[in-house]
Amino acid sequence: MPGVTVTAVAMDEPEPYWETQLAVPLAADPIVDASGGAVTAVTAAASLFRLTDVPAGKTVVNGPAVALDPALVPQPVANVVPLAGGLLALSAGKGSRQIAVYDPETKDRFRQLSLPDSLACRPIAFAGGLLAPSTIGGVFLIDATTGKQRAEPFLPPLEGQQQLAWCPPVAWGQDEALLSDGLGALYRLGVATAPKPHLKSLAQVTLSEPVVSPMAVIGDIAYAVDGAGVLTAFELPAFGRGKQRSLAGRAVWGPGRIGDHVLLATDDGQLLCLDEQQKLAWQISLPFGPLAGAPLALGEDIILAAAAGTVWRVKADTGKQLGRIDTQRPLGTGPVLRGTQLLIGGHDGTLYELQQP
C-alpha cells in the first residue's frame, strides 16, 4: 500500500494505542460539489475526506469523514467513479473482484460489491450502473446499490485460450459505450430490452493492430492509439477509419477529451491537441515534464499540471502559454475548479488551493 502507517504500541500489550497513515496519495482528482462548496477527496487507502471551509491557520485534517476497514483494502484504490445520488464507486482497477460503494444515505456508508470476475480495467458509469469489463472476457453492467446485474453481460467471441485485455471504456451519448478488447476488435455497446435486458454490440470492427489506449470521443469522432504507435480517428457510429498519425513516442496520458479538444501526451515529451474535424490543432513540447493528471478546460483556455510541480495555462486553440505558477511541490492529480481557485492533489496526499495562472 502507498504511504506510511505509524503505530504506537506498548512492549507488553498486543493492542495499539493509536495508528495513523501518512503521505497516502489521492486515488483520483478531488471532487467539488455542484454548489462549489464542499470538496470530497478519496485516498488510495480508501479514506474519504469531506472538506468545507478550513479555518485560517489550520493546515492538517487528521480525521476522514469515513474510511473503509483496512482489511477490506487488499490493493490501493486506483479510481473513483461518481454516480447519481452522491454515490462513489471505489475500485483497485485491473485484477480486483471488489468494488466499494460509498453511499452517504446508509448507516455504514460503504457497501462491498462482489463482481462475477476480476476487473480487466477501470469501470465507468453507464446506463444507471457500472460498466465493468472482466478478465474472463465478459462485460458486465452492475447495479451500484445492489451489486446485481442490471442486464445480461456482453460476451465477445473467443478462440481457444484467448485472454482479452480490455481497455477502459468510454461513454458515447447517453446510452452507448465504446471499448477495445485489446486483441484488435472495437465494440460499440448498448442496452437492448428484448427478450430481456442485455448488453448488445451495435457495431464492431476488427483491426490489424490492437488498440492499447483509452478511447476519447468528441462529436462523432473517437480517437485511439494502437500497438504500433498509430493514433487513429474512427468515424462513428460504424467505426469508419479516418485520419491516422504515427506517434514518435508511446502514449503515456490519453487520449482524453478536454473541453472541445482531445489531448494526448507521449513519453518523448510531446503534447498533441486534436479536434472533431480530425485535425491536429497544435503540438508542443511539454515544457515542465510529464503531466500529473487530466488537464482542465476553462473557457477558451486549458490549465495543465506537471508532476514536477508547475501549473500552467495555454490557449485551447493554439497551445500558446499564457501564464504559470511553480508550486515547488510534486503533484499527483490534475487541476479542478472550486469557485475561481484551483484544487490540485499533491504526490503525498496534500491538497493545494491555488490562484489561476
CATH for 268: 2.40.10.480
For residue 214, give the nearest of 124, 128, 287 by alpha carbon. 124
Q: Is the same domain home to 155 and 129?
A: yes
Is residue 83, in this structure, part of any structural domain at all? yes
Between residues 8 and 161, which one has the greater pLDDT?
8
Between residues 313 and 58, which one has the greater pLDDT?
313
Is residue 226, in this structure, part of any structural domain at all? yes
Q: Is the same domain home to 193 and 249?
A: no
A 10 A CB-CB count for 164 gives 21
Pairing of strands 221-225, 230-235: antiparallel
Residue labelled with grid coordinates 477558451:
300
Mean pLDDT score of the chain, rounded to an integer?
92
Band of pLDDT at residue 101, cut at 50, 70 and 90 = very high
Band of pLDDT at residue 58, cut at 50, 70 and 90 = low
Checking if the pLDDT of 80 tops 70, the result is yes
Domain C-terminal end among 206, 241, 265: 206
Residue 209 and residue 184: Cα distance in Å, rounded? 6
Between residues 342 and 19, which one has the greater pLDDT?
342
Q: Is the same domain home to 216 and 119?
A: no
The tens digit of pLDDT for each residue in 252-303 reads: 999 999 999 999 999 999 999 999 999 999 999 999 999 999 999 999 999 9
Residue 337 and residue 316: Cα distance in Å, rounded? 17
Residue 89 and residue 23: Cα distance in Å, rounded? 22
Provide long-range contacts, Cβ within 8 A and 24+ apart, for 64-72.
66/102, 66/109, 66/110, 68/100, 68/110, 70/45, 72/46, 72/98, 72/100, 72/112
Q: CATH code at 201? A: 2.130.10.10
CA distances from 2 to 47, 157, 235, 349 (A): 13, 38, 41, 10
Provide long-range contacts, Cβ within 8 A and 24+ apart, for 304-307.
304/334, 304/335, 305/331, 305/333, 305/334, 305/335, 305/344, 306/331, 307/331, 307/332, 307/347
**Is the C-alpha dihedral spanning 104, 110, 114, 117 positive or negative?**
positive
Give residue 152's pLDDT: 96
A 10 A CB-CB count for 24 gives 20
Give residue 160's pLDDT: 64
Percent of the chain surpassing pLDDT 70: 97
**Which cell is 23 given?**
503521505
The number of C-alpha atoms within 13 Å of 312 and in the hemisphere containing its C-beta is 20
Q: Is the same domain home to 168 and 224?
A: no
The tens digit of pLDDT for each residue in 182-207 reads: 989 999 999 999 999 999 999 999 99
Residue 273 and residue 260: Cα distance in Å, rounded? 10
The tens digit of pLDDT for each residue in 4-29 reads: 989 999 888 888 898 888 899 999 99
Cβ atoms of residues 93 and 168 within 8 Å: no
Domain C-terminal end among 178, 206, 234: 206
Cβ atoms of residues 270 and 284 within 8 Å: yes
Band of pLDDT at residue 343, cut at 50, 70 and 90 = very high
Checking if the pLDDT of 163 tops 80, the result is no
Give residue 55's pLDDT: 58
For residue 131, give the nearest of 192, 176, 162 by alpha carbon. 176
Q: Is the same domain home to 218 and 125?
A: no
Give residue 173's pLDDT: 87
Q: Is the same domain home to 251 and 269?
A: yes
Q: Is the same domain home to 184 and 247?
A: no
Cβ atoms of residues 97 and 117 within 8 Å: yes
Give residue 208's pLDDT: 92
Checking if the pLDDT of 88 tops 90, the result is yes
Is residue 95, in this structure, part of any structural domain at all? yes
Checking if the pLDDT of 111 tops 80, the result is yes
Q: Is the same domain home to 83 and 197?
A: yes
Domain C-terminal end among 182, 206, 230: 206
Checking if the pLDDT of 247 tops 90, the result is yes
**Range with top average pLDDT, 53-57, 71-75, 288-292:** 288-292
Residue 83 and residue 9: Cα distance in Å, rounded? 40
Q: Is the same domain home to 254 and 159?
A: no
Q: What angle do CA 266, 268, 273 make, to 5 degrees?
A: 40
Q: Is the same domain home to 234 and 172?
A: no
CA distances from 41 to 118, 199, 239 (A): 26, 33, 37
Give residue 54's pLDDT: 61
The tens digit of pLDDT for each residue in 196-236 reads: 999 999 999 999 999 999 999 999 999 999 999 999 999 99
Is residue 267, in this structure, part of any structural domain at all? yes
Q: Is the same domain home to 201 and 225?
A: no
Residues spanned by the domain of 121:
78-206
Structurally, how many domains does the chain consist of?
Answer: 2
Residue 264 and residue 254: Cα distance in Å, rounded? 5
Q: With DSSP H G I counted as helix, E B as strand and the rest as coil, what are the percentages for the chain, rounded to 5?
A: 0, 50, 50
Is residue 278, in this structure, part of any structural domain at all? yes
Q: Residue 202: enclosing H or E segment and its boundaries?
A: strand 198-206
Give residue 57's pLDDT: 63
Is residue 158, in this structure, part of any structural domain at all? yes
Is residue 179, in this structure, part of any structural domain at all? yes
Is residue 165, in this structure, part of any structural domain at all? yes
Q: Is the same domain home to 129 and 235?
A: no
Residue 249 and residue 219: Cα distance in Å, rounded? 26
Q: What is the mean pLDDT of residues 44-50?
A: 93
Percent of the chain surpassing pLDDT 90: 78
Residue 332 and residue 350: Cα distance in Å, rounded? 9
Between residues 316 and 163, which one has the greater pLDDT?
316
Regarding pTM above 0.85, the answer is yes
